[in-house]
Amino acid sequence: MRVRIRRARRRIREELESAFIEDYTSQEVAISFSIGLFITALPTLGTGLLMFAVLVYLFKQLSELAMLASVLVLNPFVKWGVYASSYWLGQRLLGPVPLAFDGNILAAGPDVLVRLWVGNLILAVVFATAGYLLALRSVVEFRQRRELL
């Protein structure tokens, strides 16, 4: 487990450092990472990468590498925890899902999805905000150290 964590941290660091070296401003790298975290946190069922491609095509100021680095942070193994937390948060805000024991369990589906999405949007905003601040600080510090060398 520790080896996996070290390997994942190294991959994230390498991707972010590659993004830091690109010809983007610190703010552009940070906002790209933040947008990537926001999209990756949502339950997009794999369409997040397609959204990345569309956004990078439409907005030349976005760093593709920084957006892809966010996928390494919120990888498929971590996303299940995000989904569980999202549902828990949505349930805390909107109340528990009313379940009728009439044999029609599918009737609760829309209520479950609403709670998942509400919690997920809140967590996505929190992740994006924290990601922006951390990425901006990291890029600025990385570039300052690089200039000193």
List the structure tokens of 146.
Answer: 């690089």
Backbone angles phi, psi at 42, to 5 degrees: -75, 150
Candidates 147, 120, 105; CA nearest to 42 is 120
* pLDDT attached to residue 92: 94
The two tokens of residue 92 are: 């805390």
DSSP per-residue letters across 41-65: HS--TTTHHHHHHHHHHH-TTS-HH
Q: How many Å apart are CA 123 and CA 115, to the nearest integer?
A: 12
Token pair listed for 117? 């999405």
The pLDDT profile of the chain, 149 residues, written as one tens digit per residue, is 788 878 877 877 777 666 666 678 889 999 999 999 999 998 887 788 899 989 989 998 898 888 888 888 887 788 889 999 999 999 999 988 776 666 565 666 788 889 999 999 999 999 999 999 999 998 888 878 877 76
pTM across the whole model? 0.78
SS3 state of residue 130: helix
Domain membership of residue 28 as a residue range: 2-148
**From the CA atom positions of the chain, what is the Rg in Å?**
18
Q: What is the pLDDT of residue 100?
A: 63
DSSP structure class, residue 108: G
Position 112 scores a pLDDT of: 83
Predicted local confidence at residue 76, as pLDDT? 78
Number of domains in the chain: 1
Task: Say what the pLDDT of residue 113 is.
Answer: 87
CA distance 113 to 120: 10
